[in-house]
Amino acid sequence: MWQGHWGCSIIISSIIALLLPMADAADSKNSPTREVAQLETVATFDESMPTGVTVARSGRIFVNYPRWGDPVPFTVAEVKKGRATAYPNSEINKLDTNRSGETFVSVQSVVVDPRDRLWVLDTGSPKFKLVRPEAAKLIGIDLSSNRIFKIIHFPSDVLLPSTYLNDVRFDLRKGQEGVAYITDSSDKGANGIIVVDLGSGKSWRRLNDHPSTKAENNFVPTVEGKPLMRRKPAQPPEPIRIGADGIALSSDGARLFYCPLASRKLYSVSTAALLDQSLSEDRVGETVKDEGIKPASDGLEMDAEGRLYATDYEHNAIVRLGHAKFDTIASDPEMLWPDTMSIASNGYLYFIANQLHRQPDFHEGKDLRVKPYKLFRVRIDGTPVRLGGDEKQLVREKEIK
């Protein structure tokens, strides 16, 4: 599942991890500049560790907590006045392996689509172990009624035994009811992009185990000044092997950007190729573009102005790619492992900081996390990408911003 090396290889990997950002800074395309916005705390979390956040047009905020080992009374929540409450209700959030196909099991991501509907991406894998195939699913919730309107499951040739559903983006202009793109970030099997037709519920894999979706060999990032590796008691440390994780659609929907978590590379692929089921995997792979070096990132996001945002978990920061260079737009010692991001209609970028790197798996069983975990926001004066959203509403969003 994880592969590591002792001695010189670890030292060399650590040195490379330290030198790469400096080498990248010498590249004029990717040289980061600092344009740091004021950081605002939106909410704090004293119990479960959140990974995802999304903001509806009305300003409603939703977060999720995967069941990785901590007590998780509810895996999806709405944040009201700084406090998280089970959403849409407590009953559906109770872990029930006998009803895993219709209840929330372990949610990794929540995303509001262009029509202001909430989608819940359920890995079905508490503690990274798939309960049953039907436990992994994509669930649509109507925010006006707070009721589920669709549950999509995945066939065995899409949901592999090793699959870990990570993040999702939507283009509602494609097909009868729109399409979704999901990253498979598995650390022990094939990585790739899963495409879902929201109307029919049909799904298919693309870029299956393609090199661009894989973790870099022996990748060792430096977080809080120390090499980050998986470290279990009485076992040799092993590099992180998490593949395709962050995902973002270009503002016109023509390209899908993605990145392995264990990497500093950014890639994009043609969405037309992902959607064309008549194309071979080789033909789809030919549309992959190496977008160059960026900071080591967990989450990606894009605004309607065409600017790409990436978390920088090695430097407690968020960067923005615009005008052929990365700008640091947020940086703070409290931004410990910035994870998922969400651009809201009010021109703010919301993001979770969850201290993921301090979990016991990385410290020989010792939990170094210090609660609370935090939800922050920074002003970016950007507009959300709403592919297939109501055009009048989009105009109003731009006016509000």
- CB neighbour list of residue 136: distance below 8 Å, 6 or more residues apart: 122, 123, 124, 125, 130, 153, 154, 159, 163, 165
- For 384, the token pair is 């959300």
CA distance 260 to 115: 29
- Give the pLDDT confidence score for residue 391 in this predicted structure: 59
- Give the pLDDT confidence score for residue 393 in this predicted structure: 59
- CB neighbour list of residue 144: distance below 8 Å, 6 or more residues apart: none
Beta-bridged to residue 321, according to DSSP, are: 308, 326
Beta-bridged to residue 325, according to DSSP, are: 322
Give percent of the chain with pLDDT exceeding 70.
Answer: 88
Cβ atoms of 309 and 37 closer than 8 Å: no
Claim: this prediction has a pTM higher than 0.85? yes
How many residues are given for the chain?
401
CA distance 13 to 219: 7
CA distance 193 to 205: 6
Listed as ranges, residues in the chain with pLDDT below 50 are: 1-31
CA distance 64 to 49: 9
Cβ atoms of 192 and 214 closer than 8 Å: no
Beta-bridged to residue 220, according to DSSP, are: none
- Give the pLDDT confidence score for residue 29 in this predicted structure: 44
- Give the pLDDT confidence score for residue 390 in this predicted structure: 74
In the β-sheet with 255-260, what is the strand arrangement from edge to edge?
Answer: 244-249, 255-260, 265-270, 289-293
Query: For the chain, which residues make up each domain, given as ranges?
Result: 8-400
Cβ atoms of 187 and 242 closer than 8 Å: yes
- Give the pLDDT confidence score for residue 281 in this predicted structure: 98
pLDDT tens, residue by residue, 352-397: 999 999 999 999 999 999 999 999 999 999 999 999 987 555 555 5
- Give the pLDDT confidence score for residue 392 in this predicted structure: 57
Which residue is it, tokens 């659609």? 249
| β strands within 18-164, DSSP E | 33-34, 40-45, 52-55, 61-64, 76-80, 83-86, 107-112, 118-122, 137-142, 147-153
Rg (CA), the chain: 20
CA 201 to chain centre: 22
- For 209, the token pair is 């185990």
8-400 maps to which CATH number?
2.120.10.30
- Give the pLDDT confidence score for residue 389 in this predicted structure: 87
